[in-house]
Amino acid sequence: MAEKAVLILGGTSDIARATALAFAKRDWTVRLAGRAPPELQREADDISARTGRTVTIHQFDVLATGSFAAFADALPGLPDVVISVVGLLGDQARAETDPDHASEIMRSNYEGPALILSLFAERFRARGAGAIVGISSVAGDRGRGSNYVYGSAKAGFTAFLSGLRNRLAASGVHVMTVKPGFVRTRMTEHMKLPPIITATPEEVGEAVLAGLSRHKDVIYVRPIWLLVMLIIRMIPEPVFKRLKL
Ligand SMILES: NC(=O)c1ccc[n+]([C@@H]2O[C@H](COP(=O)([O-])OP(=O)(O)OC[C@H]3O[C@@H](n4cnc5c(N)ncnc54)[C@H](OP(=O)(O)O)[C@@H]3O)[C@@H](O)[C@H]2O)c1
């Protein structure tokens, strides 16, 4: 039987690295895509040395939507699973007055990931099999003053994945949304995060594998986030407006 292959978009992130290693340890071929080939190559060599699996690297920029079809065509084959880990937290304060920065955050977290996953979804649908995984965020569950540009883009991405899953439910294509909650990574290294609700990148990687094997639709990596966001969503707007969240 041919080896199963996973394509990870945003391959240089800490979450991608941990996820790639988790798949490679289960004998998957790993394809890492991102915009920094030297970094991807270092990571590929490391995973390959640790697991003996094939790890290939591929140039990919999520903002270059016009090159998506050529990117997919150039891969060694259609993967079995595609995971978009791409994201950009950006600077909320700057985004409030700099439309170019706001647009970059919106496009990096919503437009780009949605369009590239949509492209693979169509190819999977034609084949009758495949899994699509989008790393979204609890930040999309309710807009907050401190990060609503990022949060709204993640909300759009979450809704897109939900619709895609709904449309493809009978086609053999599995679409899974991942809401990691806080994760200790390069993106959050400047933040003070409560340990009880902060996952490691390795937990995210294992949660993705477990979610795929159980055919999950939406996963909160630490289940406590389901409760946290339920409470946050239930706060009435007049009260929410007065909170500094
Ligand atoms: N850390 C958290 O607490 C947390 C919580 C919820 C959700 N998430 C989500 O988890 C994912 C990974 O985040 P992380 O924490 O591991 O942070 P990260 O290291 O900053 O990861 C972001 C990834 O996106 C890539 N990327 C950004 N813009 C790109 C572009 N134009 N083209 C291609 N790749 C691009 C980055 O590549 P470069 O290396 O080239 O910049 C990097 O690989 C993101 O989607 C993030 O929103 C994180």
Instruction: DSSP for 108-168, please give it.
Output: IIIIHHHHHHHHHHHHHHHHT-EEEEEE--GGGTS--TTTHHHHHHHHHHHHHHHHHHHHH
CATH number at residue 76: 3.40.50.720
Query: 34 alpha carbon to ligand 1 midpoint, in Å?
Result: 10
CA dist., res. 51 & res. 120, Å (int): 27
- How many folded domains does the chain comprise? 1
Structure tokens at 210: 């477990």
With respect to residue 211, please indicate whether it lies within any of the assigned structural domains: yes
Q: What is the DSSP letter of 58?
A: E
Candidate from 84, 86, 149, 202 with most ligand 1 atoms within 8 A of CB, to mutate: 86
CA of 85 to the centre of ligand 1 (A): 6
Specify the residue with its C-alpha closest to ligand 1, atom 47. 87
Q: Residue whose CA is closest, atom 21 of ligand 1? A: 13
The answer to whether the CB of 91 falls within 8 A of the CB of 113 is no
Tell me what the mean pLDDT of segment 72-98 comes to. 98
The pTM of this model reads 0.97
pLDDT at 109 over 70: yes
Q: Is 211 in the pocket of ligand 1 (CB under 6 A)?
A: no
Return the pLDDT at 244.
80
pLDDT of 1 over the 70 cut: no
The answer to whether the CB of 193 is under 6 A from ligand 1 is: no
Q: Is the CB of 124 under 6 A from ligand 1?
A: no
**220 carries an active-site annotation:** no
Q: What is the mean pLDDT of the chain?
A: 97
Residue 208 belongs to domain spanning: 5-240
Ligand 1 neighbourhood includes 35 CB (under 6 angstroms): yes
Tokens coding 109: 């977290």
Q: Which of 2-11, 17-26, 45-54, 154-163 has the lowest mean pLDDT?
A: 2-11
Residue 160 CA to residue 14 CA, distance in Å, equals 24
Predicted pLDDT at 39: 97
Q: Is the CB of 187 under 6 A from ligand 1?
A: yes
The pLDDT of residue 204 is above 80: yes
Could you tell me which of 197, 213, 201 has the C-alpha nearest to residue 85? 201
10 lines ligand 1 (CB under 6 A): yes
Report how far ligand 1's centroid is from the alpha carbon of 10 (Å). 6
For residue 88, tell me if it sits in a domain: yes
For the Cβ of 191 lying below 6 angstroms from any atom of ligand 1, the answer is: no
Domain presence at residue 107: yes
Given 110, 148, 150, 220, which residue is catalytic? 150
Residue with the smallest CA separation from ligand 1 atom 8 is 137
What is the Å distance from ligand 1's center to 41 Cα?
18
Would 245 be classed as within a structural domain? no
List CB contacts of 65: < 8 A, sequence separation 6 or more: 111, 112, 115, 116
Could you tell me if residue 162 is inside a domain? yes
pLDDT digits (tens, 9 = 90+) for 118-174: 999 999 999 999 999 999 999 999 999 999 999 999 999 999 999 999 999 999 999
- Ligand 1 atom with the smallest distance to the CA of 193 is 3
Atom 1 in ligand 1: which residue has the minimum CA distance? 183
